[in-house]
């Protein structure tokens, strides 16, 4: 060691740290022989904490401010050194500056898919990724549990372990939430808060907290996403038959516009388009090539007739009846019910009945449909027979 280096170590009495790396969590103040001059000035800026390590033991921790390193400012150091009275000689101690700012935009993601049981898709695999932030809240515990004697400790040295904790907790929360995969996007904020709370409890043992945690995306395997896209497309298409006809007409129109086809292509496109339009208007008509209608065989013994058969008339609508008696109504009754009541005498010709579509109450004997119920039994034989 040269004389100038020795003198500079003795006379430099200002201890501070400025950082522009954006990823340094802990930095050790380098001093020749770790000698700190009694009465030196210690500057701790906002977002920092200074931790003194004396002979391998945790000593004093200084929060932001300007300090004169004397016995009254270093109670733990004074106790370790047995400084009962003031002194003027230098002392040896390691000083670590801890960055207590928030480190943001740290990445996390599930390396392997998370298995869960979806109420709609059944057993499903999903992936998730996002960002988070960390902050040192207990510099002394962080130095003891994580840093040790590392002269410069960066975020890369701890984010791998934090990511493992996040993946474990996020997998547990997502798999046990019971939320359908299609609804998870609407609940990422709540799940993120739950995961951040659980992870922060673990990080507290390291002197850290996780003030922010974001789930940016939850995705399905490519095969499942492809099937889901097809299902969505089918829903948007609506009637697949009409959608197919519309797509064919669009393709024919595009072919007619093809300059390479010339006038023949234009005429063919117009003819095919008109035939398709006619078929869309009359589904029972022949196909665009003059053959059988789409969906029917073109020939053979089982071929459909050229002309569509008329549809049978709809079946007659059976009436139901209501009966008015003693100021009260009962029903509805079918015609079979009315026949049984006519047979046992509970329905007479002068009973008032009504059916939907009838103009007011009428006597059962005046309703043609019911009058026949009272003539089922044969009349008495003619006289003299």
Dihedral sign of CA atoms 350, 351, 357, 360 in order: positive
Total structural domains in the chain?
Answer: 4
Contact 173, 194 (CB under 8 A): yes
Q: What is the CATH number of the domain that holds 216?
A: 3.30.479.30
Q: What is the CATH number of the domain that holds 330?
A: 3.30.1490
Task: Select from 78, 99, 120 the last residue of a domain.
Answer: 99
Q: Considering the domain boundaries, does residue 350 fall inside one? A: yes
pLDDT tens across 148-166, in order? Answer: 777 788 888 888 889 999 9
Pairing assessment for the beta strands 14-15 and 41-44 based on DSSP bridges: parallel
Q: Considering the domain boundaries, does residue 65 fall inside one? A: yes
**Percent composition of the chain: helix, strand, coil (DSSP 3-state, to 5):** 40, 25, 35
SS3 37: coil
SS3 236: helix
Task: Select from 99, 134, 169 the last residue of a domain.
Answer: 99
Return d(Cα 210, Cα 276) in angstroms, integer: 64
Residues 120 and 212 placed together within one structural domain of the fold: yes
Residues 175 and 151 placed together within one structural domain of the fold: yes
Region for residue 275 given its phi and psi (left: phi exceeds 0; alpha: psi -120 to 50; beta: otherwise): alpha
Residues 232 and 214 placed together within one structural domain of the fold: no
> What is the pLDDT at residue 135?
93
Contact 98, 26 (CB under 8 A): yes
Residues 334 and 249 placed together within one structural domain of the fold: no
Residues 174 and 117 placed together within one structural domain of the fold: yes
> What is the pLDDT at residue 348?
84
Which residues of the chain fall short of a pLDDT of 70?
A: 1-12, 31-35, 71-91, 234-243, 246, 258-308, 315-317, 376-380, 385
Residues 113 and 170 placed together within one structural domain of the fold: yes
Residues 34 and 89 placed together within one structural domain of the fold: yes
Residue span of the structural domain in which 366 resides: 321-375
What are the counts of helices (DSSP H) followed by strands (DSSP E) for the chain?
10, 18
pLDDT tens across 202-236, in order? Answer: 999 999 999 999 999 888 878 777 877 777 776 66
- Stated pTM of the model: 0.53
Task: Select from 174, 191, 220 the last residue of a domain.
Answer: 220
Q: Considering the domain boundaries, does residue 267 fall inside one? A: no
């Amino acid at each position: 060691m040269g004389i100038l280096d020795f003198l500079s170590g003795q006379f430099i009495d200002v201890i501070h740290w400025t950082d522009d790396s954006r990823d340094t969590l802990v930095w050790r103040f380098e001093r020749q022989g770790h000698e700190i001059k009694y009465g030196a000035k210690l500057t701790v800026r906002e977002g920092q904490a200074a931790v003194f390590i004396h002979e391998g033991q945790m000593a004093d921790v200084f929060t932001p401010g300007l300090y004169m390193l004397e016995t009254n400012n270093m109670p733990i150091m004074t106790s370790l050194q047995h400084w009962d009275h003031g002194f003027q000689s230098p002392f040896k101690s390691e000083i670590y500056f801890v960055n207590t700012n928030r480190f943001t935009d740290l990445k996390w993601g599930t390396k392997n898919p998370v298995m869960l049981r979806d109420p709609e898709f059944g057993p499903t695999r999903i992936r998730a990724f996002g960002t988070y932030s960390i902050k040192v809240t207990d510099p002394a515990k962080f130095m003891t549990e994580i840093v040790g004697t590392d002269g410069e400790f960066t975020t890369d040295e701890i984010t791998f372990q934090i990511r493992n904790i996040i993946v474990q907790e996020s997998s547990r929360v997502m798999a046990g939430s019971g939320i359908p995969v299609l609804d998870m996007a609407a609940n990422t904020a709540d799940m993120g808060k739950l995961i951040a709370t659980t992870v922060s409890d673990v990080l507290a043992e390291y002197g850290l907290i996780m003030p922010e945690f974001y789930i940016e995306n939850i995705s399905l395997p490519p095969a499942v996403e492809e099937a889901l896209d097809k299902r969505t497309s089918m829903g948007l298409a609506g009637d697949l038959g009409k959608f197919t006809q519309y797509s064919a007409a669009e393709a024919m129109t595009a072919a007619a516009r093809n300059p390479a086809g010339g006038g023949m292509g234009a005429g063919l496109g117009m003819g095919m388009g008109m035939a398709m339009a006619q078929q869309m208007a009359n589904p029972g008509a022949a196909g665009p090539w003059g053959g059988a209608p789409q969906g029917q065989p073109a020939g053979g013994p089982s071929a459909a007739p050229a002309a569509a058969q008329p549809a049978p008339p709809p079946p007659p609508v059976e009436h139901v009846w209501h009966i008015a008696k003693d100021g009260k109504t009962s029903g509805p009754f079918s015609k079979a019910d009315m026949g049984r009541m006519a047979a046992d005498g509970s329905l007479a010709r002068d009973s008032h009945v009504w059916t939907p579509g009838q103009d007011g109450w009428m006597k059962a004997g005046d309703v043609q449909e019911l009058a026949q119920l009272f003539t089922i039994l044969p009349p008495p034989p003619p006289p003299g027979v």
